[in-house]
Amino acid sequence: MFQRKGWEAAMKKRDFVTQDLLSKIYQHSTPGPRKLPPERQLAEEYGVSRFTIRQALEKLVSIGVVSIVQGSGIWINEQARNSPLVYNSITEKSFDRISFRLLSLHKKLPDRDEQQVFGLGPDEFIWQFCRLRLVDSQKVQIETSRMPAKDFPDLNQKAIESSLQQYVLSKGYRISHLLTRYQAIVVNKEQAQLLECRKGQPAMQISNRGILEGGRVYEISDIVDINYSCTYVIPFNHDNLVRRKSS
C-alpha cells in the first residue's frame, strides 16, 4: 500500500511538472530560439528529483515541444509552440512502445448508418475488425473499426496490427481530418476479460471518424480505453463564447 502511494505521488509530481512546463512554454511569446533551464535548476525550482524532471522532459520531447541537445541544452520547438497542440495517452507514445493484436476481421453488408457515413449502397461490403492496442505490453484499448472494402480490398492482419493511417497513406489517399467524440463509460464483463481488468472500471469511449481530402470517410471506429488522458493547448475562441452567451 505504501509503495503504491509513493508511486502515485511520484506520478502526480511528474505530471504537474510536465503540465507546468508546458504552460510556461506557451505563456511566453518572446521571438527567437529559447531554452529551458538545465535539469538541476528545474529540480531545485520544483523541489523534485532530477529523475522526475527527466521523466517530464521525456514527455515533452515525445510530443515534439522540446529537443534535448547533448552539451547544448533543452531547446523549445518554436514551430510546435506557435501551433495548437493536442496529445493524448496514445499519441504521446513512440510507435515502438505500441503494438496491436487482431481479434477478428470479416466483411459484412453495411447497415443504414454505415451506408450514410461511407456513402455506400446496400450491396457494397465493408470490413469490420476488432483489435487490442497494447502500450508497453499492457492492454489498454479495444478498438472496433469499419472501412469500405472497395477502397481497401487487400486489408489484412499485417496492416491492422501496424499503423492504419500509414496503410491508408500507402494506398495513395491523403488524410484530411479526424472527427472525435469522447464519452465516459464503465467496462462491461466482455471488455474486462479482453483488457484483463475488473468489470465496472471507469473508461473512456472514443468514437473516431477518419476523413480523406475531398470529404470521403475512410474509417469509423469505437475505442474503449481504460487508461486515457488528453491535453489540449488551443487558442481562446471568443466567437464561441459570444455565441453561447447569446443562445
The listed CATH number (1.10.1060.10, 1.10.10.10, 3.30.390.10, 3.40.605.10) that belongs to domain 13-83: 1.10.10.10
Determine the pLDDT at residue 7. 44
Determine the pLDDT at residue 1. 43
Determine the pLDDT at residue 10. 56
Split at pLDDT 50, 70, 90, the class of 135 is very high
Q: How do residues 180-218 score in pLDDT, each as one tens digit?
A: 999 999 999 999 999 999 999 999 999 999 999 999 999
Determine the pLDDT at residue 44. 95
DSSP tag of 37? P
Question: Which secondary-structure segment (H or E) carries 53?
Answer: helix 50-62
Determine the pLDDT at residue 2. 41
CA distance 240 to 153: 42
CB 179 within 8 A of CB 216: no
More confident residue, 148 or 230: 148
Radius of gyration of the chain (CA): 21
Q: How do residues 52-72 score in pLDDT, each as one tens digit?
A: 999 999 989 988 889 999 889
C-alpha cell at 230: 488528453
32 has a pLDDT exceeding 80: no
Domain ranges of the chain: 13-83, 95-232
3 has a pLDDT exceeding 60: no
Which of helix, strand or coil describes residue 116?
helix
Percent of the chain topping pLDDT 70: 93
Question: Which secondary-structure segment (H or E) carries 13?
Answer: helix 2-27
164 has a pLDDT exceeding 90: yes
More confident residue, 231 or 32: 231
Split at pLDDT 50, 70, 90, the class of 78 is confident
Determine the pLDDT at residue 68. 92
Question: E strands along 112-158, which residues?
Answer: 126-135, 138-148
* Model confidence, pTM: 0.79
Q: Provide the β-strand partners of residue 175.
A: 212
Q: What is the CATH number of domain 95-232?
A: 3.40.1410.10
What is the average pLDDT value for the chain, to the nearest integer?
Answer: 89
Cα 40 to Cα 31, 48, 51, 138, 198, distances in angstroms: 26, 10, 10, 33, 41
